[in-house]
């Protein structure tokens, strides 16, 4: 059950982000004032969604790593030479 919920929540977030930072969802937030942390509100609005995407992707990465196991799935495949050149 949990295997489907976490990726589904990530997909829902990115679909909401798609609507919120493009037309028509962006129209109510397309203004310069008020300034937030010295930025126009429209820039701050996009920054909030992008920061949220970083958090969602980081959480999805950690969830996937725990689901597959600590040591499996993230190792270098055998047969690939080391870049060190020994």
User: Residue 21 sits in which domain range?
Assistant: 2-68
Tell me, yes or no, whether 42 lies in a domain: yes
Determine, yes or no, domain membership for 46: yes
The Cα–Cα gap between 25 and 69 comes to 39
**What contacts 37, CB < 8 A, 6 or more positions away?**
44
Greater model confidence, 76 or 61: 61
Answer yes or no: is 6 within a domain: yes
11 is a domain residue: yes
- Answer whether residue 76 is part of any domain: no
> Quick check: 44 and 36 in contact, CB under 8 A?
yes
pTM of the predicted model as reported, rounded to 2 decimal places: 0.72
Residue 79 forms part of a structural domain: no
The answer to whether residues 43 and 59 touch, using CB atoms and an 8 Å cutoff, is no
The per-residue pLDDT for range 26-60, each reduced to its tens digit, is: 898 888 889 999 999 999 999 999 999 999 999 99
User: What residues have CB less than 8 Å from 15, skipping those under 6 apart?
Assistant: none
Q: Does residue 74 belong to any structural domain of this protein? A: no
Domain count, the chain: 1
């Amino acid at each position: 059950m949990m295997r489907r919920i976490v990726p589904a929540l990530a997909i829902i977030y990115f679909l909401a982000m798609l609507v919120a930072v493009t037309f028509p969802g962006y129209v109510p937030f397309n203004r310069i004032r008020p300034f937030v942390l010295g930025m126009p509100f429209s820039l701050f609005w996009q920054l909030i969604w992008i920061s949220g995407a970083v958090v969602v992707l980081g959480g999805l990465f950690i969830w996937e790593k725990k689901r597959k196991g600590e040591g499996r799935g993230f190792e270098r495949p055998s047969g690939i030479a080391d870049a060190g050149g020994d």
